[in-house]
């Protein structure tokens, strides 16, 4: 049995077949969920309406996988009439454990060790860390060894691109004190 297709269209087909009531929606490079949702707290509306939930993840395979899982979770809450907007507001402590947070801290530490023109340093960051590895991590997901292993599986085994990505993930894991055997 093959892997499930990680495209917005394929994910939306699966969500529609499961009658989740939510769809993935790509805005630029980022993903959101769209569906009929209860009014937000403080809204003047008193009936459910079409609304967006910004997920803050990129429209790459890891982001699509995260967004689809979030759609199933929120769809189940909607079906049980237990959906609450306050549950979507992340606790600041949880926010500090996200991939996005750890990548930013890693970048700041890395920048302290760099010399040269700002433009050249920025280019090195993108070429050495962002494009080969970090852009594939879902920003709002908690940084764990299991997540790093799952994202590493997007590359073919024994490929050079996987080796490079795993080296970058290992450096991030060491920096964040996440035990990992990538």
Q: Is residue 1 part of a domain?
A: no
State residue 137's pLDDT score: 93
The burial of 22, by beta-carbon neighbours within 10 Å (0-12 exposed, 13-18 middle, 19 or more buried), is given as: buried
Last residue of a domain, one of 89, 107, 133: 89
Q: Is residue 52 part of a domain?
A: yes
Q: Which domain holds residue 28?
A: 8-89
DSSP string over 57-98: EESSHHHHHHHHHHHHHHHHHHHTT---GGGGSPPHHHHTTB
Q: Is residue 2 part of a domain?
A: no
Domains contained in the chain, number: 2
pLDDT in tens, 21-49: 999 999 888 899 999 999 888 778 889 99
Contact 133, 165 (CB under 8 A): yes
**Shared domain check, 66 and 50:** yes
State residue 85's pLDDT score: 84
16 falls in which pLDDT band (50, 70, 90)? very high
**Shared domain check, 115 and 58:** no
**Shared domain check, 82 and 126:** no
Q: 3-state DSSP call for residue 45?
A: coil
**Shared domain check, 81 and 97:** no
Closest CA to 48 of 21, 25, 72: 21
**Shared domain check, 163 and 127:** yes
State residue 94's pLDDT score: 46
pLDDT in tens, 123-154: 999 999 999 999 999 988 899 989 999 999 99
**Shared domain check, 110 and 65:** no
Entry pTM: 0.50
**Shared domain check, 108 and 40:** no
Q: Which residue has the higher pLDDT, 166 or 45?
A: 166
**Shared domain check, 110 and 35:** no
The Cα angle at residue 147 between residues 145 and 153, in degrees rounded to 5 = 105
pLDDT in tens, 58-116: 888 888 888 998 999 999 888 888 888 877 765 444 457 889 989 999 999 899 889 98
182 falls in which pLDDT band (50, 70, 90)? low
**Helical residues (DSSP H) of the chain, grouped into ranges:** 8-17, 61-79, 92-95, 99-112, 118-125, 145-152, 160-176
State residue 84's pLDDT score: 84
């Amino acid at each position: 049995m093959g892997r499930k297709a990680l495209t917005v269209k394929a994910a939306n087909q699966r969500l529609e077949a499961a009658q989740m009531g939510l769809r993935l929606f790509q805005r630029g490079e980022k993903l959101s969920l769209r569906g009929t949702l209860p009014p937000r707290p403080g809204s003047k509306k008193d009936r459910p309406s079409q609304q967006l939930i910004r997920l803050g993840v990129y429209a790459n395979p890891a982001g699509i996988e995260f967004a689809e899982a979030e759609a199933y979770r929120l769809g189940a809450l909607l079906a049980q009439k237990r959906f609450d907007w306050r549950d979507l507001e992340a606790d600041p402590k949880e926010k500090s454990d996200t991939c996005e947070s750890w990548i930013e801290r890693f970048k700041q530490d890395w920048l302290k060790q760099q010399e040269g023109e700002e433009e050249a340093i920025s280019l090195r960051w993108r070429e050495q860390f962002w494009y080969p590895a970090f852009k594939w991590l879902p920003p709002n997901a908690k940084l764990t060894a299991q997540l790093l292993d799952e994202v590493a599986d997007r590359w073919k085994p024994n490929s050079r691109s996987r080796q490079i990505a795993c080296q970058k993930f290992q450096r991030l894991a060491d920096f964040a004190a996440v035990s990992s055997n990538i």
